[in-house]
Structure 1
Amino acid sequence: MTLPTVQLARDTPPDVLRARERSNEWERIARGVYLPGDRGPTPHRRRDVALGRLVGIHDRLTTEHWFSHESAAMLWGLPLWMTPARVHLMQRHTAGSGRDPGVAHHPLVPPSDQRGSAAGLPVTSLERTVVDCASTLPPLQGLVVADAAVRAGADRETIERILSARGGQRGVVRARAVIALADDGAESPGESAARFVVVRDGFPVPRTQVPVATRLGTFWSDMGWEEWRLVLEYDGRPKYDDRATEAFIQEKRRHDAILEAGWRAIRATKEDLSGTTLVRRLRPLIPAHLAATLRPRRDLRG
């Protein structure tokens, strides 16, 4: 991962700093931290700003520290459902009333086996990061991190040891429920989110990367229930950004081939994840006696 280059106020004469702010050449992204201004289409600007904050804060600090929670997740290269507005930082001692309000301070030192380095910055280990995110984020967002982490190689036994050491602490029950669903077959945040929604609303956990043999070859659907010959595919906007017409045609041929092979297929977008829209679309496609028994999972609320 290439981190953005930032400028620190302490290294810049005040008159130069003011001039560059006025001209929008530099954007203030944290206390005393500046990022070159946005001069063109930059779809990843929010993430660049969030990463720039980490770089700047790291450069400012003179005491031992580790980035944690969503901040560590970004440095590990994990996708997030929402770009975080705050930096999470673990230190033995934290500043007093003058500390940066954009930083969530955690006054502790992680055990040596729960520390690491990612993108050249000090972070909590991949496994510790998963547990912290699953304990504090809304469950859908926590699963996005957990799926990506196990796909990146997070060790489940180590995660379980960290969870076990937190017995009775706030968020641990939710974290266990979220991490139990983690699946390295999820290939995007949207797939993780769609799987979370159907499980939260009572559907059996779907298998990821379901093989479907068709006249055009075997396709691997995002998720589904083989016993019902039902698959769910998540469509993200970026899929159609370039060469949109050709991409649409190929997806249409793939979809038709799956239907012709005797499967039912639901295509979902981000808009379908609100409320009960997705479950209402899926419910008529499963056995009626099972549909009548679906109940939302309390351990995945929040």
Structure 2
Amino acid sequence: MPRRPGPPSSVQLDPTAPPAVHLAGQHPRTDVERRVRDGTWVRVRHGAYVDAAWLSDVPGADRRMALARLEALRRTSPRPPLLLRESAALVWGLPLVAVPEVTHTVSASNPTSHGARDVVRHVVDVPATHTTMHRGHRVTTLERTAVDCATALHPYAALVVADAALHVGADRDVMLALLEAARGRRGVRRARAVLEVADGGAESPGETWTRWTVLRLGHPVPETQVPVDTGDGRYWADLGYPAWRVLLEYDGAEKYGADGRDAVAALRRERRRQLAVEDAGWRVVRVTAHDRRHVGAFEARLRAALPDAPRTARPHLHPPPA
């Protein structure tokens, strides 16, 4: 399947590295209190602080806070802990539907009730071949991280991680082999269903949501990164059905940038692009964050664009009633 040329999407691979952490034990107590009082430092966990400027006036402050907690735990642990699940995903730079308020680590024995409340210790078998060092942290490999998330998270949240992992280079065969080795364990069947439809062509969680919703509504699996040749050149659509010449485009805020002038220019380019695509005989269904709250409206637009084709239900991917 073709892929849009260029490097991995920055939305699927957050380049933010862990911050510098200031440990209270390395500074005079009065100095620490002064810096906290005047807002220079922000406490991230007991005895550990980061510069407030690193957390303020930036998108994804909750993600940065979680990275700061990971770094603080590493700095204050006798031996760097092995991170897994969402915590490992954070270090890898993968997007998450919900940033965890706790750090997930591997424990060799059952944890006591006296441990830190912001750390969840899992007694699981993680062979050395499933671990690596990344950005100074001991983490599960990219493939093991995606599989662990797929077995533990809601299917949509798991699909966001799996899509991103494949997009930045994870090996699907390795992920499937990990699941096969875990056959019979809790969450493996659900994880396998997620990996069946995971697609490295997704360039953002918004595109993953669009594909997830299309599947939930019972439509066939759409292709990702669809090449469209027009009189204005070749364009690439987020996803669609080439056989029916129907495209779906997710319009996220990142597409138009933060600067007003950049946004106007991007809108003009997008308008020119859509006219060229429509002139080439394609129908375009645009999807926005608004559709997440009004799925019925999105479904109506999609049904109007698609021919009367048999619908392929995928009940194993439906979220639980809650």
Same fold (TM over 0.5): yes
- TM-score (normalised: structure 2): 0.87
Which residue matches 2:117? 101
- Say whether 1:199 aligns with 2:215: yes
CA contact (8 A) 2:215 2:313 kept: no
1:262 aligns with 2:278: no
Q: Summarize the alignment of residues 158-173 of structure 1 with structure 2, pairs less than 5 Å apart.
A: 158-173=174-189
Structure 2 counterpart of 1:271: 290
Is 1:226 the counterpart of 2:245 in the alignment? no
Query: Which residue number in structure 1 is paired with residue 25 of structure 2?
Result: 10
Kindly indicate whether the alpha-carbon contact (under 8 Å) linking 1:151 and 1:185 is maintained by their aligned counterparts in 2.
Answer: yes
Match of 2:3 in 1: none
Task: Determine which of 41, 46, 60 is the counterpart of 1:26.
Answer: 41
* Percent identity of equivalent pairs: 40
Amino acid at match of 1:114: H
Aligned equivalent of 1:148, options 144, 155, 164: 164
Please state if 1:120 is matched with 2:136.
yes
Residue correspondence of structure 1 range 176-187 to structure 2 within 5 A: 176-187=192-203
Instruction: String of CA shifts for 1:271-296, please: whole Å, max 9, x gaps.
Output: 21344442232012222353xx4645
Q: Deviations over 1:209-263 (max 9, x none)?
A: 1111112111110000011110000111122223111111000111111111111
The DSSP-based 3-state class of the residue aligned with 1:284 is: helix
* Letter in structure 1 aligned against 2:137: L
Q: C-alpha separation between the residues in 1 aligned to 2:38 and 2:125?
A: 41
Once the two structures are overlaid, the 10-residue window that deviates more, 218-227 or 276-285, is: 276-285
- Do the aligned partners of 1:198 and 1:278 also contact (CA within 8 Å) in 2? no
Give the match for residue 307 of structure 2: 287
User: Are the equivalent residues in 2 in contact too, given 1:86–1:104 (CA < 8 A)?
Assistant: yes
Counting only pairs closer than 5 Å after superposition, residues 33-72 of structure 1 correspond to structure 2 as 33-38=48-53, 41-63=57-79, 65-72=81-88
Cα RMSD of the aligned pairs, angstroms, is 1.9
TM-score (norm 1): 0.92
Residues 72-83 of structure 1: pairs in structure 2 closer than 5 A? 72-83=88-99
Does the Cα contact within 8 Å between 1:178 and 1:300 map onto a contact in 2?
no
Unaligned stretches of 5+ residues in structure 2: 1-14
Give the Cα separation in 1 of the matches to 2:52 and 2:90: 21
Partner of 1:297: 315
Contact kept, 8 Å, 2:220 with 2:312, in 1: the verdict is no
**Residues 125-172 of structure 1: CA deviation (Å, up to 9, x unaligned):** 111101111111111111111111112221222211210122122211
Aligned length: 300
Unaligned segments of structure 1, at least 5 residues: none
Which of the residues 193, 209, 212 maps onto 2:225?
A: 209
Residue 258 to residue 36, structure 1, CA distance change in 2 (3 Å):
same
Measure the CA separation in 2 of the matches of 1:42 and 1:207. Answer: 34
Task: Answer whether contact 2:193 2:316 (CA < 8 A) is retained.
Answer: no
Amino acid paired to 1:297 = P
**Inter-partner Cα distance in structure 1 for 2:26 and 2:114:** 20
Q: Which residue of structure 1 aligns with residue 7 of structure 2?
A: none
How much does 1:96 deviate? 2.3
CA contact (8 A) 1:91 1:109 kept: no
How far 1:174 moved relative to its partner?
Answer: 1.2
8 Å Cα contact 1:173/1:299 also seen in 2: no
- The corresponding residue for 1:253 is 272
